[in-house]
Structure 1
Amino acid sequence: MTLALARNIRREPVIAAPPAPRLRLPEGWSLPALVVAVALLLGGLPFFRLAAAAFAPGWQFAPGEAFVEMASRAAMTATWHTLETASLSALGALLVGGIVALALGVTDVRGKRPLAFAFVFSMMIAPQVAALAFLSLLAPNSPILSLIGLAPPPGTPNPLLGRGGIILVMALHHAPLVAITLWTGLRSIPQSLVEAAQMEGATPATITTRIVIPVLRPQIIAAGLIAFVAGVGNFGIPALLGLPVNYLTLPTLIYRRLSSFGPSSLGETAALAVLVGVVAALGIVAAALAARNQRGKVEIERSLEPYWLLGPARPFVAAGLWLLLALKLGLPLLALLSEALTPALGVPLSWQTLTFDKFTEVLFRQAVTMRAFRNSLIFAGSAALILAILAIVFAYGLERRLGRFRRAVELMIELPYALPGIVLAIACILIFLKPLPLIGVSIYGTPFIILFAYLARFLPLALKAPVAAMAQIEAHHEDAAKLDGANLPQMLRFIVAPILAPAAAVSALMVFLVAFNELTVSALLWSSGTETLGVVLFSLKEAGLAGEAAAVAISACVVILVVMLALDLIGRYRQHNILPWRI
């Protein structure tokens, strides 16, 4: 008995002492922490630093100097010019964009896809390219207007210089923003509303004025406010059309201050940047409120389909839309091309005078323009690639892990994209002018400051398609991966990434489109060796080398067109509403 008991005792396992209690973090904390940290770095930090520089110089709260700068005569004049040009151009964009949106959205006009593609392409080319194209079209001895005898006489100022030209070109340039917003609104109108009106004998004109436009009212208001915000932050058009005649808006005033006084004027420019941000923020908040009023009003079973059958007027409507595109896009680019293909200003284009010397000069001979093409490709391509990877991680984190904190993080991410680029540029200078902590190195004046600004500005654009795709993915894929023992990195790599990769690729190409010709941010962040295409084009125009600037602009437009065509080809096999021109 004693021996058996001893054997049983020896077989019992030895129980170790319990380990000391440790602090355990919630499971899955790392991904939300990463998303919040990156959002703070790219969205929160720049604007916190900007506000601190404006209202707490030297980290001592003293807002008096900022308010004095904001109330100065120069700032007040520039603010009025900004509000004037942004408001009037928004009204023009609303008129042009609204007509195009309704014509392509509710009628049976032919050629909708190429019309929409060309209309959006006119917005994808850089604002400074649009301004340069219109300047070439209406310049004295314009080769295009000379053919019909309407060219201004030699020696007369270009009629687009100043307030009127800025308003006109910005209105035409921002009209596609309005059309894209209204196309989204049209897709939210149920077809049953139109069918009920048709059963009552309503004509297409009555349906449009009594049903469609009233239902679209929140989107119309939001579209106008979006065009207003775009006008507030636009730098390229006021710079080319306003600076030569000393018509300054807030972005061009900031540029002139920094160009004249350098980093010593950062306190003043920070206050002006805050003023730009406040003006733009008012428009953004108003647009968000207008859009929110429309949510959840109707139950959609079938989206709106074209109900206006044009009949014999069909070819005339199509001709009118193509004529609008010719005036908005075709003739200005043709004038720009003519200027790039002639040997000197004022020489008429013919087979005898046609030359490709300016293209050869800017693409193969001039070191600065060749470097600008390379830099723009590298900056835009790197930003697109990094953001495509980040977008996959962020889309999963926002949709699955952040819960009630999601909206706050999204607002922080959207801040650099919503506010004017000139505000972000000033914030980046303030952050990176001094050496970074720990490493003791400053990235101011290096390519990395431009890359950081691109990442901050275009992250919201890169997130749109992946977040939409992530919302449609059922959670059972992830549950199965967890049952198989997959950890978070493995699940992201083998489950989530392959599903989101097509949407992330489309978003990356959209980022490349916008970043390739970007000027508003890089105009203040470039240094010798980091020039971008937008900066070089602006510099060539200021130096009087209009032909070389035209050659750079046409070459950049070709790159944008090729990327858009590639996107359109990819979009045929993806979701219908990923690309803005696929209505």
Structure 2
Amino acid sequence: MPCSRPTRKPRKSSRNCLAVDPMIRRPVMGRPHRLGGEHLLVSLLVLYVSFTTLWPLARLFSAAFQPGEDGTPLGLMLTTLASRSALRALSGTLQTALLSVAVSTVIGVALAFAVSLLKLRTRAALTFLILIPLIVPSQTMALAWIELFGAQSPILKPLGLAPPPGSTNPLYSTGGIALVMGIEHMPLVFIAVRAALRALPADLVEAARILGISPGRIGLGIVLPIVMPSVLAGSLIAFTAAIGNFGVPALLGIPGRISVLTTLIYQRLNGFGPAAAGQVATLALMLAAMAALAIVLRNIVTTRIAVPLPAGTPFVPTRRAPVIEFLLWIVVLILSLVPLAALTMTALLPAIGVAFGPDTISLDQFRAVLDNPTVRRAFANSLLLAVITAAISMLVAVPLAFLSQRRTNPVLRLLDFVIEGPWVVPGTVVALGMILAFLKPLPLIGLSLYGTMAILVIAYLSRFLPLVLRPVAAAAQSADPALDEAARITGAGLNRRILSIFLPGVLPAAAAGAILVVMTALNELTLSTLLWSSGKETIGVMIFALQYEGNSTGAAAVAVLSTKEMTELDVLLICCECPIGN
């Protein structure tokens, strides 16, 4: 039987073959080169995060868990926790934080309901003014409230409402600290509740109106229970911010002898130096533990207690209330602008104790601080630190977001978790970790970074990286992965894909995050007050030092100048977020 040759299928043209299987065009060495490049990039990111964040936090934990003088395990921690000063500071921290959260919650919920459920002609302007206490640095707002309620208040004294001369400022108390911190953190609750109210279905409110339910009962009996998880979440965020706040307790609590954990850590380090590292590490871990507990509770509230809302058209307010809008403006102006007005008027006085008036207005304090070489150096240092931090954070955030949105690598997920740590925990914890990590000379180079500008840069990079990473990661989620895949198939290298394809799509978000870093870093105080040294002063340190030495008018002038810079950056940030040409 003759053998029959197998039938050979006609070969497809190269064009059809490419159409069916585009992988044929991939370069032979493309995949190993790609994996090697990504592995190298991940390794570099791991080294960066380990150096700036993981190592300092690890040193903090190791210092707190040292044995006692008699060799007892955890003896140092147990001795510190049992000390009278630590218990007093812990009590003061919880007391001021809980009272401030009550203030933040009441005011924030009320303002969110008024702005969201009423038809206001000036809603945008009111919203911006409500956010001012959060935008302005903590030490500046504290100083503004001190000037407003002081015996020489340029606003209350002409009205006969200022305390008598020689009396103690009423804000130098637990209630004063709670009030100022509550107003400062009120926008955190406002933002959370307003976001929930903007998602409120219109059908729900209309159904209640049809049934004849009064507006008050609709708000308290229907709307409030729906947004209660957001109220709790915002309150827990305000609690986290309150326990880590240093500016307000330092300016109000130290003169009033009110001890909290952040100021106790500052006083211990100033008094005993690195010798008290183990004790203050334990105090810092107390702050970190409270912050972690608040974050866990917030996650439980937002994921398990949140009320699912039915889909529908969002509620649009139609009821106009001119009287309420007028009263709302008065409240917001008192909370946001009146203290800053008192601060500005104090800065315009030629000396302490001079009454404010048309004949006493002077720019002498501004000339004095601008002629002061230490103040000028502080502004230059803060600007340099802010720009360096923003630039390096952008360089790290872009490739990290690129890899995270394309890969499910557990190493990248762990990096995201570690990066969030320094922003979540109080800044005092981060600063102390930096001291413990970089106090001794580094291996290989044999130099200590403590007392140099480098330790401030590393601390800023560790704390402020999430401010750039979050917006970049959010923008990366909306990017089309097919573009990167097509570039990879055609043989484009990793660097080219990041710079030519990924970066243009996330550049506006990266720029906005960088400006936010500059705004935050310019007036930073919590890190700087523990890490600065002679010649390395910052704006926040100068405001605190001038006020602490009794030069309140000079401190007010520096605070006004820093607020001016902050306002200019706010405008720039708004311009970056607007569409080009708008």
2:361 is aligned, of 347, 354, 357, to: 354
TM-score between both structures, scaled by the size of structure 2? 0.89
Give the letter aligned to residue 252 of structure 2. L
2:485 is aligned, of 454, 462, 479, to: 479
Q: Give how far 1:90 is off.
A: 0.5
Query: Is the contact made by 1:513 and 1:560 (CA closer than 8 Å) also made in structure 2?
Result: yes
Q: Give how far 1:318 is off.
A: 2.3
Q: Residues 99-145 of structure 1: CA distance to partner in whole angstroms, max 9, x if unpaired?
A: 11222222211211111112212211111111111111111131211
After TM superposition, the structure 1 = structure 2 runs for residues 264-343 of structure 1, keeping only pairs within 5 Å, are 264-293=275-304, 297-298=308-309, 300=311, 302=313, 304-307=314-317, 309-311=318-320, 313=321, 315-343=322-350
Structure-2 change in CA distance of 1:288 and 1:540 (3 Å): same
Tell me the distance in 2 between the aligned counterparts of 1:468 and 1:194. Answer: 32
Q: Give how far 1:228 is off.
A: 0.8
Aligned residue in 2 for 1:446: 452
After TM superposition, the structure 1 = structure 2 runs for residues 202-281 of structure 1, keeping only pairs within 5 Å, are 202-281=213-292
Structure-2 change in CA distance of 1:45 and 1:27 (3 Å): same
Aligned residue in 2 for 1:102: 113
Q: Give how far 1:496 is off.
A: 0.5
After TM superposition, the structure 1 = structure 2 runs for residues 38-49 of structure 1, keeping only pairs within 5 Å, are 38-49=48-59
Aligned residue in 2 for 1:81: 92
Give the letter aligned to residue 355 of structure 2. P
Aligned residue in 2 for 1:33: 43
Tell me the distance in 2 between the aligned counterparts of 1:571 and 1:61. Answer: 56
Structure-2 change in CA distance of 1:25 and 1:352 (3 Å): closer
Aligned residue in 2 for 1:117: 128
Give the letter aligned to residue 180 of structure 1. I
Q: Give how far 1:317 is off.
A: 2.3
Give the letter aligned to residue 469 of structure 2. L
Q: Residue 468 of structure 1: SS of its match in structure 2?
A: helix
Query: Is the contact made by 2:200 and 2:315 (CA closer than 8 Å) also made in structure 1?
Result: no
**Which deviates more from structure 2 when the two are superposed, residues 254-263 or residues 207-216?**
207-216
1:67 matched to 2:78: yes
CA-based RMSD of the aligned residues comes to 2.4
Aligned residue in 1 for 2:28: none
Aligned residue in 2 for 1:6: none
Give the letter aligned to residue 46 of structure 1. P
After TM superposition, the structure 1 = structure 2 runs for residues 515-530 of structure 1, keeping only pairs within 5 Å, are 515-530=521-536
Tell me the distance in 2 between the aligned counterparts of 1:287 and 1:375. Answer: 37
Q: Residues 464-523 of structure 1: CA distance to partner in whole angstroms, max 9, x if unpaired?
A: 211111111111110121122111111001000111000111111111121111101111
After TM superposition, the structure 1 = structure 2 runs for residues 358-507 of structure 1, keeping only pairs within 5 Å, are 358-363=365-370, 365-403=371-409, 407-507=413-513
1:52 matched to 2:58: no
**Which deviates more from structure 2 when the two are superposed, residues 178-187 or residues 466-475?**
178-187
Give the letter aligned to residue 181 of structure 1. A
1:93 matched to 2:104: yes
Give the letter aligned to residue 473 of structure 2. V
Give the letter aligned to residue 401 of structure 2. A
Give the letter aligned to residue 197 of structure 2. L
Give the letter aligned to residue 342 of structure 2. A
Tell me the distance in 2 between the aligned counterparts of 1:233 and 1:78. Answer: 13
Structure-2 change in CA distance of 1:397 and 1:61 (3 Å): farther
Query: Is the contact made by 1:43 and 1:414 (CA closer than 8 Å) also made in structure 2?
Result: no
Query: Is the contact made by 1:109 and 1:317 (CA closer than 8 Å) also made in structure 2?
Result: no
Structure-2 change in CA distance of 1:301 and 1:461 (3 Å): farther
Tell me the distance in 2 between the aligned counterparts of 1:197 and 1:488. Answer: 57
Q: Residues 260-284 of structure 1: CA distance to partner in whole angstroms, max 9, x if unpaired?
A: 1111111111111111211222112
Query: Is the contact made by 1:57 and 1:267 (CA closer than 8 Å) also made in structure 2?
Result: no
Query: Is the contact made by 2:129 and 2:332 (CA closer than 8 Å) also made in structure 1?
Result: yes
Q: Give how far 1:404 is off.
A: 5.2
Give the letter aligned to residue 330 of structure 1. L
Q: Residues 541-564 of structure 1: CA distance to partner in whole angstroms, max 9, x if unpaired?
A: 111100000000111111111111
Tell me the distance in 2 between the aligned counterparts of 1:178 and 1:385. Answer: 31
Tell me the distance in 2 between the aligned counterparts of 1:362 and 1:61. Answer: 52
Give the letter aligned to residue 355 of structure 1. S
**Which deviates more from structure 2 when the two are superposed, residues 110-119 or residues 220-229?**
110-119
Give the letter aligned to residue 395 of structure 1. A
1:147 is aligned, of 148, 158, 162, to: 158
Q: Give how far 1:447 is off.
A: 1.0
Q: How many residues align?
A: 548
Aligned residue in 1 for 2:560: 554
Q: Residue 502 of structure 1: SS of its match in structure 2?
A: helix
Tell me the distance in 1 between the aligned counterparts of 2:155 and 2:88. Answer: 36
Q: Give how far 1:72 is off.
A: 0.5
Give the letter aligned to residue 133 of structure 2. S
Query: Is the contact made by 1:218 and 1:290 (CA closer than 8 Å) also made in structure 2?
Result: yes
Q: Give how far 1:87 is off.
A: 0.6
Tell me the distance in 2 between the aligned counterparts of 1:395 and 1:300. Answer: 31
1:542 matched to 2:548: yes
Query: Is the contact made by 1:121 and 1:561 (CA closer than 8 Å) also made in structure 2?
Result: no
Query: Is the contact made by 1:50 and 1:426 (CA closer than 8 Å) also made in structure 2?
Result: yes
Tell me the distance in 2 between the aligned counterparts of 1:27 and 1:191. Answer: 52
Query: Is the contact made by 2:67 and 2:76 (CA closer than 8 Å) also made in structure 1?
Result: no
**Which deviates more from structure 2 when the two are superposed, residues 475-484 or residues 201-210?**
201-210
Tell me the distance in 1 between the aligned counterparts of 2:460 and 2:349. Answer: 36
Tell me the distance in 1 between the aligned counterparts of 2:328 and 2:46. Answer: 46
Tell me the distance in 2 between the aligned counterparts of 1:190 and 1:37. Answer: 48
Tell me the distance in 2 between the aligned counterparts of 1:491 and 1:61. Answer: 56
Give the letter aligned to residue 229 of structure 2. P
Q: Give how far 1:298 is off.
A: 4.4
Tell me the distance in 1 between the aligned counterparts of 2:339 and 2:568. Answer: 19
Give the letter aligned to residue 95 of structure 2. E
Give the letter aligned to residue 146 of structure 2. L
Q: Residue 146 of structure 1: SS of its match in structure 2?
A: coil
Unaligned runs of 5+ in 2: 1-31
Aligned residue in 2 for 1:563: 569
Query: Is the contact made by 2:66 and 2:76 (CA closer than 8 Å) also made in structure 1?
Result: no
Q: Give how far 1:407 is off.
A: 4.3
Query: Is the contact made by 1:82 and 1:249 (CA closer than 8 Å) also made in structure 2?
Result: yes
Q: Residues 349-368 of structure 1: CA distance to partner in whole angstroms, max 9, x if unpaired?
A: 222211101101112x1011
Q: Give how far 1:299 is off.
A: 6.0
Q: Residue 400 of structure 1: SS of its match in structure 2?
A: coil
Give the letter aligned to residue 319 of structure 2. L
Structure-2 change in CA distance of 1:205 and 1:552 (3 Å): same
Aligned residue in 1 for 2:19: none
**Which deviates more from structure 2 when the two are superposed, residues 477-486 or residues 316-325?**
316-325
Q: Residue 156 of structure 2: SS of its match in structure 1?
A: helix
Structure-2 change in CA distance of 1:43 and 1:295 (3 Å): farther
Q: Residue 244 of structure 1: SS of its match in structure 2?
A: coil
